[in-house]
Amino acid sequence: MTEEILTQNHPLESCLRTERFPHIWCVGCGLGVALGAFASSLLENKFDLDQMAVISGIGCTGRMAGYLKVDSFHTTHGRAIPFATGLHLANPKLKVVVFSGDGDIVGIGGNHFIHAARRNLDLTVICVNNFIYGMTGGQVAPTTPLGAHTTTTTYGNYEYSFNIPLLAAASGATYVARWTVLDIIKLRKSIQEALNKKGFSVIEVISPCPTLYGRLNRLATGVEMMKFLKEHSLFKREAKLEEAAITDGNQIVVGKFLDIEKPTYLEMYEKSVGGKIKQLKYEKILAGEESCPEC
């Protein structure tokens, strides 16, 4: 590299902790692409980084929080969503994002995922799915496809896998989309939509893991895995939820599956409990039992 290139500022430096680069991810991994898409979305949409928090758990994707120049928290395995829930409820003005992996979010953290969706908490969840537990040894994950090989399914996986878009929609999410790391422009647009959406928003990002999933399934390089994603993914502009479950061979349907409006958890709380509390305080003020804070 020339000295001129080395002295140039990174185009996403205002969003990224470039002093921590180079990152720790393997050659051919798609996590750098996912991180770049998220950072680009923040810049393009001019989000106030002081009003954002990114939460991640344990795993390869869990390192995301440490590379972003926002308030970020690296929590314990599977506990990113409950941590984010507490942060959101304590400070509803913050835009809280959970950015973690499939094993972390729908594996050990699966119960938290479905209940956060059920409550329609105002959270954005970006789940990077590489079909395997990457950081902890290549074990079978809840998203590992049927027949795929992992270190704990050496004869092939015989368990049915979770379908993240269908799981999110059935649990109560208001925005659900799925993309691969090849769909970089669509992914960036989708992230912007999810961040601006009220309610529980979920984006699944299919990403290659050549080191473990690829090596164990005869796709040992990042290029081979990218070719696989290109050949087996199908974009549908007006994708329907039932199409998220299409498994014709190894076909992966990508697109936006759900985008609806419904009251969030805090809106429902304010309408019910919050209104009753205000009425009770008003009655106490009228009875002279409590002073008016605005008087």
Summarize pLDDT for 220-260 with one digit per residue, the tens: 888 999 999 999 999 999 899 988 886 555 789 999 999 99
If phi > 0 it is left, if psi is from -120 to 50 it is alpha, else beta; for residue 217 that is alpha
**Percent of the chain residues past pLDDT 70, beyond the cut:** 88
Find, among 98, 123, 86, 291, the residue nearest to 199 by Cα.
123
Confidence of residue 280 (pLDDT cuts 50, 70, 90): low
pLDDT on residue 293: 56
Q: Tell me if residue 37 falls in helix, strand or coil.
A: helix
Q: Read off the pTM.
A: 0.90
What's the CA gap between 165 and 202, in Å, rounded?
8
156 closest CA partner among 142, 135, 140: 140
pLDDT in tens, 98-149: 999 999 999 999 999 999 999 999 999 999 999 999 988 999 999 999 999 9
| Stretch 86-104: mean pLDDT | 95
What is the rounded CA–CA span in Å between residue 236 and residue 162? 21
Lowest mean pLDDT among 17-21, 29-33, 111-115, 283-287: 283-287
pLDDT in tens, 192-203: 999 999 999 999
Residue 282 has pLDDT above 60, yes or no: no
User: Where are the alpha helices (H) located in the chain, listed in sequence order?
Assistant: 3-7, 31-44, 64-67, 80-90, 102, 110-119, 164-171, 184-195, 215-216, 222-232, 265-269, 275-286
**Residues 116, 85 contacting (CB under 8 angstroms):** yes
